[in-house]
Amino acid sequence: MERKLSTIFASDVVGYSKMMGNNEEKTLETLGERREVIDSAITEHNGIIFGSAGDSVIAEFGSPVKATECAVQIQGKMKTMNEDIPVDQQMIFRIGINIGDVMVSKDNLFGDAVNVAARLES
């Protein structure tokens, strides 16, 4: 298992479980649209997606600047996408960024740096 210093990006949707409870189909449709934006921004900023489950995304960046620029771009696009949607139906993303030592195993990241990034976004 390789160890390295990385910048970890973690995101999820505020109130995702409630949104799914209210309207699964619409929530999944909206999430799919938003994930296209997120995945594209991560790739554009030289990030690598290491995991996603439901509404969450974990990505690795070689640079904290790139991770931060990516997060700012995503939040700006999400704000625009939410403009004409009623407040109670808007999809809001939380994003946490942390720098630390991680262990890389095939297509997964492990370590406290990943856990801290996930806690920061919550």
Q: Are 96 and 119 in contact (CB under 8 A)?
A: yes
3-state secondary structure of 4: strand
At residue 12, the pLDDT reads 94
Give mean pLDDT in consecutive 10-residue pieces for the chain, a chain of 122 residues: 90 94 94 97 96 90 97 98 92 95 83 80 68
Token code pair at residue 70 = 């990516």
Domain annotation for the chain: domains and CATH numbers: 2-121 (3.30.70.1230)
At residue 122, the pLDDT reads 64
